[in-house]
Structure 1
Amino acid sequence: MVAQDPTRPPRPEAGKPDWLRTMFRLDRISKVDDTLVPFDYPKDFTLSEFISTQKMFDFVTEPPVTLELAFSGNVGDI
């Protein structure tokens, strides 16, 4: 998940031309509360560009893979 801090806007005069955006690992989040505060998706943001330019957590996209599972007996039955 990528979050943008609304209190830290770009400050080009200070050498910070972009919004402060941080990546959070979802496997580390244990609780979420809905604040009911509306959110406008930033027009200048694309996730794929963020991943390729920021390299946060060395997260690199790769092409899709085919994953096949094999079950014994009726283990995979619902």
Structure 2
Amino acid sequence: MPFIAPELIIQAKQMDLLTYLKNYEPYELVKFSGNTYCTRTHDSLKISNGKWIWWSRGIGGRSALDYLINPMPRLRS
């Protein structure tokens, strides 16, 4: 397994999912209401106030890393 600098891990844990999607997959974001977003691919994935919950999968988290390391299908599925 490659070495990952501790600073990069800290940065990854600090990025929320909305920021990640705005920066890397902006075409996926859909404004749902107020400050809540969902995605084009998964409308049950709701993102708001630095948290996310994927209602149809029964999972949620705070950081983009929480989402990205989850074994469930991603936006590109």
Q: What TM-score do the two structures reach when normalised by structure 1?
A: 0.23
If asked which structure has higher relative contact order (CA below 8 Å, sep 6+), I would say 2
Q: Which structure has more helix as a fraction of its residues?
A: 2
Q: What TM-score do the two structures reach when normalised by structure 2?
A: 0.23
Q: Whose Rg is larger? A: 1
Q: Which structure has more strand as a fraction of its residues?
A: 2
